[in-house]
Amino acid sequence: MPPRRVVTGRSQEPRQRFVEELRILRAARGDSLRKLGEVLGWDWSLFGKMESGETLGGPEVVEALDQHYGTGNLLLTLWELALGDPTQFREKYRRYMILAAEAVSLWKYSVSAVPGLLQTEEYARTLLAVGGLNGDELTRQVEARIGRSELLDGNAAPRFRAILSESVLRTELEDPQAWRIQLEHLLEISERKNVTIHVVENSAGLHALTNTDIMFLRTPDGRTVAWVETGYSGELVEETAAVEQLQLSYDSVRDLALTPAASRTFISRTLEEAQCDPST
């Protein structure tokens, strides 16, 4: 690991220290932004935005940078300090994020909200605000969520399958334009080779995951773990039998869902309805 530098007056502010460290490490390595993007598999512009302080990025890209520079957990620690929320990274959730960063594929079922990895900034801001966040804390949480969505970017991005309850697409934002942008984002991202989106219509009736938000992560060593979440808490499930039972439930819901092509048509029709709404 490179020797630690003295913390100067300039770099005592956590966000600035993080940005400064990114610049110094890349300069010492002699990497261009484009070269860094090629090596790590993210668009090079992300690293430029991180070094300018425009975004903090997500934990997966920060961990990749730590590995690239041989800095242990230095950058991840600075990143957490820059977010300013020590309670956000409870051990259970921290482990989930690490597993997500390493996953070769992910499967999601969403009951009532657009999955975090597919949210636009305004959707994330609105959702977190109604959950009680505001001010600087809200800004930090939105940045963290949008940063994590970058997991799906780049040549090394994992495969991601999302099954959305129709309720997700019927629960609109108060701002019609922001809602249309979110729907357009779903259509755009569904065209990526590594992303598949299904919709389960309300007419499918009750099913095994009616009240359960869940994410499955397939790790490089072939294991599958599950993150089961409500609006107030989450649980990481790693025990094989329990994960297999949850997977059977997920598969049964996938059987009820529209095909990817039919799902895009459904989302397109929802967007058309939003554009034609006379109240907007």
Residues of the chain with pLDDT under 50: 1-10, 85-89
CA atoms within 13 A on the CB side of 251: 6
Q: 109 has which bridge partners?
A: 163, 214
User: From CA 213, how far away is CA 231, in angstroms rounded?
Assistant: 9
Strand pairing partners for 198? 163
Give the pLDDT of residue 156: 82
Q: In terms of C-beta density within 10 A (0-12 exposed, 13-18 middle, 19 or more buried), how is residue 253 classed?
A: buried
DSSP string covering 253-276, please?
Answer: HHHHSPPHHHHHHHHHHHHHHHHH
The pLDDT value recorded for residue 232 is 59
Copy the structure tokens of residue 253: 């819901």
Domains, the chain: 14-83 (1.10.260), 103-115+157-276 (no CATH)
User: What pLDDT is attached to residue 10?
Assistant: 42
DSSP string, 54-87: S----HHHHHHHHHHHT-TTHHHHHHHHHHT-GG
Task: Give CA–CA dist 163/198, Å, rounded.
Answer: 5
- Round to whole Å and give the CA distance between 101 and 96: 9
What pLDDT does residue 87 have? 44
- Helix 14-29 to helix 44-52 angle (10° resolution) is 130
Provide the pLDDT for residue 62.
Answer: 85
Instruction: Classify strands 159-165 and 224-229 as parallel, antiparallel or unpaired.
Output: unpaired
Residues in the chain: 280
For the packed helices 74-83 and 14-29, what is the interaxial angle rounded to 10 degrees?
150
- The strand pair at 105-110 and 213-218 is best described as antiparallel
The 10s digit of each residue's pLDDT in 170-205 is: 999 999 999 999 999 999 999 999 999 999 999 999
Q: Determine the pLDDT at residue 233.
A: 67
Q: Contact, 121 vs 129, CB < 8 A?
A: no
